[in-house]
Amino acid sequence: MSKPAAPLKGRAARLARLMPSTGPSTAARTPFVLLVVLLLGGGLITLLLLNSALNEGSFRLSELKRDTTELTDEQQALQRDVDSRSQPDALERRARELGMVPGGSPAFLDPDGTVRGNPTEATAPPSPSPSPTPSPRASAGAALDPDATATGASGSASPSGSAAEPGSATESDSATAPAAESTPPPTSPGR
C-alpha cells in the first residue's frame, strides 16, 4: 500500500514544529469559531436594525408632535368661534336674522292633565325705529326759544320717560316705549 511518510529533516522539520498539524484538535475549534463569528455578526446587524428603527420612531414622534400642535391650535380657534357665537347677544341677533321671535308666556301641563298658566302667542315685537335726528334749523330755533329748551329738557329728564305736559311726548319717547314694554328681557337657554 502506501509507504509511511518519511520523517522531515532540516528546515522542513523546524517549520513543521512551528505550524500545528491539521489533526483532530483544529477540527474541534472550527464550529466554535464559526459560532462566535455568527453571534457577533448577528448582534451587529440587530444593533444596526434597532438603531434605524429608533431613528425612524424619533422622526415619526416629531411629526406627530407637530401635527398635535397644529390640531390643538385649530381646536382652540374653533372653540373661540363657538364661544363668540354662543354669547346671548350673538344668539339673539342670529335668531332675529332667521325670523325667530321671543316666546310669549308659557303654559305648563300638570300630571293630571290640567293646564297651569295662560299661554300667549309669540308675536314679533315692532322693530325699533331709529330716533329722528334734529335738523339744523330745528336746533337753531330751539336755541333761540328758551321755553322750547326748557320743555325739551324737562321731557328728557323725566324718569318715567313721559313729557312734563300730557300730550307733549316726543316721537322718540312714543316709539321706544311700546317696544320696551312688549320685549321680554333676553334669556340664555340652559343657564
Whether the pLDDT of residue 79 is over 80: the answer is yes
Which three-class secondary structure string do you get for the chain?
CCCCCCCCCCHHHHHHHHCCCCCHHHHHHHHHHHHHHHHHHHHHHHHHHHHHHHHHHHHHHHHHHHHHHHHHHHHHHHHHHHHHHCCHHHHHHHHHHCCCCCCCCCCEECCCCCEECCCCCCCCCCCCCCCCCCCHHHHHHHHHCHHHHHHHHHHHHCCCCCCCCCCCCCHHHHHHHHHHHHCCCCCCCCC
More confident residue, 76 or 7: 76
Q: How far apart are CA 43 and CA 10, in angstroms?
A: 48
Give 18-73 pLDDT, tens digit per residue. 776 655 566 678 889 999 999 999 999 999 999 999 999 999 999 999 999 999 99
Q: In the predicted model, what is the mean pLDDT of residues 129-138? A: 56
pLDDT recorded at residue 85 = 92
- Residue 78 binned pLDDT confidence (cut-offs 50, 70, 90): very high
pTM over 0.75: no
- The grid coordinates listed for 20 are 500545528
Whether the pLDDT of residue 179 is over 60: the answer is no
pLDDT recorded at residue 29 = 84
Q: 24-85 vs 88-97: helix axis angle to the nearest 10?
A: 70
pLDDT recorded at residue 173 = 45
Give 91-128 pLDDT, tens digit per residue. 999 998 998 988 878 889 999 989 998 888 877 766 66
Mean of the per-residue pLDDT values for the chain? 73
Give 146-172 pLDDT, tens digit per residue. 454 444 444 444 444 444 444 444 444
- Residue 82 binned pLDDT confidence (cut-offs 50, 70, 90): very high
pLDDT recorded at residue 53 = 94
